[in-house]
Structure 1
């Protein structure tokens, strides 16, 4: 079964003279990468996890015996820092408290507090995922004093058991009499505080310093060796984060959200513009097609109008409902028409006029009344004067009428 490989992480730490980049996996020895300047380093682009190791000059690393329950260690540690005059924040990004040992209801705690120092990064575009203390990146010897160099300054790291309890830079750049006196003073103060255990050795990761003089001044047998490769800290081992980097991360998050909103708005706007352009193109294409169809239909339309006009002119002659013979037939439908003698008959599609004679007045009245009530002739609204009776008792009648259009 294949093993799951841990992602490669990058460790940026202060070397003896310049900042250095190291790569590796969690809790394993690292391989050296690139050297940077003495002012700061830059993280690479490829690392899946980035860790910044701060030099001792950027932190207070203090041991203290704190009384009370473990849940109150942090509050007591903050009070201890306040008594020591160390100005720092109160959250976990500024102060880290770890219990080292316990005795008679008291706890020996290691307090790491960040100082107000600028972040040692030459490029803030790539920020660390975690920040830790440089000395915590090495396998320190138990119950010992270790001296090494950070960016040209000597640093002292003291362990109690296997745990680091104290770390500070020395004022001297070389391990001379002044540096040894300062080291003895540190050990004396820690002894008075009861936080310095039994020291067994003094480890030198530097080349300078007289072994005999160091042994006479400290009472410890020093030995010199090469500084080991750092070990990549496990994820989540430190919550420290300088305030400058916190603010920069927040600024980058706001900037990223702004860019995302701008990209989203731009994408939506581009989609709207594309949709409008597509609809406009389709509308113009449809308009052009309609124009072409209209242009093709114009000659045919003129011919259709000519045909319509001709049909309107011929309609009276071909429409069975309105041609003259049919209207005359409707006038002769009443029973009394058998005795009628039509002397005048005039018809157009809009009006009708007829004059005739009947043998007597009663037949004339009967015939004119039948024409008025005829459904086939009702559109003409026929009407006329009373029949005129002649000396021989015959009667002359006259009927006239027109359609509504004719009357208007």
Structure 2
């Protein structure tokens, strides 16, 4: 009986809870940990000839969701423009930005954008470079429609899934899973909810052994909280990621140049004529590369001027569209009046030039007091408020509508 062909084993270097870890497994299989490095200790791939995968920590990338309108073939360009509006610049689109569609609705795509941050890739052993670079969360069996909190290289990180796909991932600013960290999680959920990118989150899962109070997590977030051990990674199949940090690109180029130099050194001893021919070939290649670079620069020059024009237009529009007042900030400002504690907000609508509030109060006087006090809030002084008389119900409660427009 013929034996089944064995799957080739892959080598995965990824960040663990405290330090770097090395795992091995066939593509698509459950990984087995073969090495664990302490905090601050540089990890490295094994000496065996295997496909090497490097998993970047979440602190090295931006993982952001967005709804993009347009053709699927242009998602990368649209994502780059969207990130630029958020202040994230991607200089190398093919190697520095990956766009993964998550859902589609009414001609728009919900995508998860993964962009490399400016910084150094965790690369220590330039003699054994990774064949592929991907995100650490792509190697973990993430639960669907959930928020997962765990530690990565000593830092708390948060991952949110929409269905079975990841839509958001980032380190938390708090070192401990306390009320500050949970407040940050709530703030992120509100922002993602306003953008319409948050799915039906079912629960919060803690891949933490003892950190965090489950009752406190449930009380602050309003979601069921579960604590389970962090599962072993799943070995990704090759070709999932197109990310390549510039440090690795440079190291690959240096390795290629070193290989060419060694080959030239070996062949130069055979004959002077062969050496002259090799030098002529190298000069021709260098000239061709120079010409290609010049052509590339000529192609990119108009695009660069367009980028500067776009930037100049955004700067000119900045006084009219204040980025410091986004919907969440305006909603928080609406809670500043003393009477806000008695207001049940039923509707909140925000646009760059106006805001609309509807709510209910126990009495008409409380509605009038809230309408008077909201006009004195410092963060809302640039609005001109329309405060019609509230509608009084049979139980003496009152409903009101306030409309604020940006002052001309």
Q: TM-score range by the shorter chain?
A: 0.5 to 0.7
Instruction: Provide the residue aligned with 2:260 in structure 1.
Output: 257
**Residue 402 of structure 1: aligned partner:** none
Within a 5 Å distance, the mapping from 1:278-357 to structure 2 comes to none
Measured on the aligned residues, the alpha-carbon RMSD in Å equals 1.6
Q: Where in structure 1 do 4 or more consecutive aligned residues deviate above 4 Å?
A: none
Q: Distance in 2 between matches of 1:231 and 1:92?
A: 26
Choose from 93, 96, 121 the match for 1:94. Answer: 96
CA drift at 1:45: 1.1
Aligned: 1:234 with 2:244? no
Query: Partner residue of 1:61?
Result: 63
The Cα shift of 1:122 comes to 2.2
Residue 22 of structure 2 is aligned to residue 21 of structure 1: yes
Q: Secondary structure at the match of 2:181?
A: helix
Whole-angstrom distance in 1 between the partners of 2:256 and 2:158: 38
**Conservation of the 8 A alpha-carbon contact between 1:10 and 1:21:** yes
Find the counterpart in structure 1 of residue 364 from structure 2.
Answer: none
Shift of 1:43: 1.1
**Aligned residue number for residue 30 of structure 1:** 31
Specify every segment of 5 or more residues in structure 1 that has no aligned partner in the other structure, as ranges. Answer: 272-408
Question: Is the 8 Å Cα contact of residues 14 and 53 (structure 1) preserved in structure 2?
Answer: yes
Alpha-carbon distance between aligned partners in 1 of 2:98 and 2:270, rounded to the nearest angstrom: 45
1:146 equivalent to 2:125? Answer no
CA contact (8 A) 1:26 1:235 kept: yes
1:208–1:104 Cα change, 3 Å: same
Which position in structure 1 is the counterpart of 2:172? 170
Structure 2 Cα separation of the partners of residues 36 and 122 of structure 1: 13
Instruction: State the Cα deviation string for residues 91-150 of structure 1 (Å, max 9, x = none).
Output: 221000010000011000010000112121222211100001001101111100001100
Q: 1:80 aligns with which of 56, 75, 82?
A: 82
Give the match for residue 309 of structure 2. none
Deviations 1:206-240 (A, max 9, x none): 12000100001111111100101001110111110
SS in 1 for 2:215: helix
Conservation of the 8 A alpha-carbon contact between 1:10 and 1:47: no
SS in 1 for 2:269: helix
Contact 1:18 1:36 in 2 (8 A): yes
Give me the whole-angstrom Cα distance separating, in 2, the residues matched to 1:237 and 1:38.
29
Q: Distance in 2 between matches of 1:165 and 1:193?
A: 12
Give the Cα separation in 2 of the matches to 1:218 and 1:65: 25
Q: For the pair shown, which has the larger CA radius of gyration, 1 or 2?
A: 1
State how far apart, in whole Å, the 1-side matches of 2:90 and 2:112 are.
Answer: 16
Please report the TM-score for the alignment, with normalisation by the length of structure 2: 0.65
Comparing 258-267 with 145-154, greater Cα deviation is found at: 258-267
Distance 2:195 2:258 in 1: 49
Task: Give the number of aligned pairs.
Answer: 271
The normalised TM-score by structure 1 is: 0.65
CA-to-aligned-CA distance 1:244-289 (integer Å, 9 cap, x gap): 11011001101110101101223558x9xxxxxxxxxxxxxxxxxx
CA distance, structure 2, for counterparts of residue 223 and residue 266 of structure 1? 68
| Equivalent of residue 50 in structure 2, options 48, 52, 60 | 48
Whole-angstrom CA distance in 2 between matches of 1:257 and 1:94: 27
**Who is 2:185 aligned against?**
183
1:119 and 1:233 map into 2 onto residues whose CA distance is: 20
CA distance in 1, matches of 2:252, 2:170: 29
CA contact (8 A) 2:80 2:90 kept: no
Q: Matched residue of 2:169: which SS?
A: strand
How many Å separate the matches in 2 of 1:148 and 1:229? Answer: 13
The alignment partner of 2:93 has SS state of coil
Does the residue aligned with 2:173 lie in a helix, a strand or coil? Answer: coil
Residue 243 (structure 1) aligned with residue 246 (structure 2):
yes
Aligned match of 1:112:
114
Q: Distance in 2 between matches of 1:170 and 1:194?
A: 22
Q: CA deviation at 1:25?
A: 0.8
Q: 2:217 aligns with which of 214, 217, 221?
A: 214
Q: Is the 8 A contact 1:146 1:205 kept in 2?
A: yes
Distance 1:112 1:154 in 2: 19
Unaligned stretches of 5+ residues in structure 2: 275-408
Task: Write out per-residue CA displacement over residues 1-31 of structure 1, whole angstroms, 9 at most, x where no aligned residue.
Answer: 3222121111000011110100111011100
Aligned-pair distance for 1:64?
Answer: 0.3
Give 1:328's aligned residue.
none
